Amino acid sequence: MFKENLRRTAEVKGTRIVLALDLQGGIYTKPKSMRAELKQELLAKAYNIISEVESYIAAVKIGLPLVLDVGLDSVDQIISSFKPKMLFICDFKTADVGFINKLVANQVFSIGFDAIIVHPMVGVVEGIKPVSELAHNLGKGVLAVCAMTHLGAQSFLNKHFKELLKLACEAEADGFILPATYPEYISEARRLYRDALIMSPGVGAQGAAYGSAIKAGADFEIVGRAIYDASNPRKVAEDVVKAVEEAVKQG
Ligand code: XMP
């Protein structure tokens, strides 16, 4: 259901962009007396950015930076304010034993997240399978990190990319997270798993060109800093959608 909802939303809006909303105010590094006000400022910023770009994005990905600063109640409010115009993906890259992964997933699904990102390297049985079982009972999704964007990922994680894809499939994950900075992994995953949902970070701030991951076989590109740090996020989001369309047209 998550996959279908995401694809439908993307098709209706004509976009294959997911916004990574990693806003952070370092609120807990500040004196306690300042925190409430800073939290309100950060929340206002989050609302403004999503409102500005909502017609250009299919989903918002929220991870620890924002959750740790504003808390789950505030994230709950953000999600309720913008659903069903977009989906929400929780990026905690969960990598614990299944019992704990499932506790975490249950919390984030309960406040309205549509999917959660996990590390399949912890294994299927008593690892990520409990998360996918819970997710599917609730009509939610699980996305598995099978290779990463940064240089250090090449020294270990990315070497095991095919095994990670296999573990993700065994656990019935709904999709793979694969790096735009190493498009060869995207092409290979697409070749091996024709119908898989593939989402790729790494475009924009991390250097890969907009549209490059989709050209390699991804369904969605995840964009963070390039949009939320821009002086005009709406304009950047619009340009990114156009650049992706153009790149895809050119093949
Ligand atoms: P930027 O600001 O670089 O944000 O556009 C990228 C977002 O994607 C996340 N990220 C990754 N997530 N595998 C993942 O699952 C990766 O290889 C990877 N690289 C970046 C990052 O957390 C940020 O939200």
pLDDT in tens, 29-86: 999 999 999 999 999 999 999 999 999 999 999 999 999 999 999 999 999 999 999 9
Catalytic residues: 93
* Cβ of 198 less than 6 Å from ligand 1: no
pLDDT at 6 over 90: yes
Predicted structure pTM score: 0.97
Q: How far is the CA of 137 from the centre of ligand 1 (A)?
A: 28
Q: How far is the CA of 202 from the centre of ligand 1 (A)?
A: 6
pLDDT, position 158: 98
> Which of ligand 1's atoms lies nearest the C-alpha of 225?
2
| Rounded Cα distance, 96 and 126, in Å | 9
Of 81-90, 187-196, 239-248, the poorest mean pLDDT is in 239-248
Q: Which two tokens stand for residue 226?
A: 């390039």
* Cβ of 212 less than 6 Å from ligand 1: no
| Rounded Cα distance, 42 and 45, in Å | 5
Q: Are 180 and 154 in contact (CB under 8 A)?
A: no
- How are beta strands 87-94 and 115-118 bridged, if at all? parallel
| Rounded Cα distance, 113 and 116, in Å | 7
Q: Kindly calculate the radius of gyration of the chain based on its CA atoms and give it in whole angstroms.
A: 17
pLDDT, position 250: 80
The protein residue with its alpha carbon nearest to ligand 1, atom 1, reads 224
% of the chain exceeding 70 in pLDDT: 100
pLDDT at 8 over 80: yes
* Whole-Å CA distances, 166 to 57, 60, 175: 29, 27, 12
pLDDT, position 136: 98
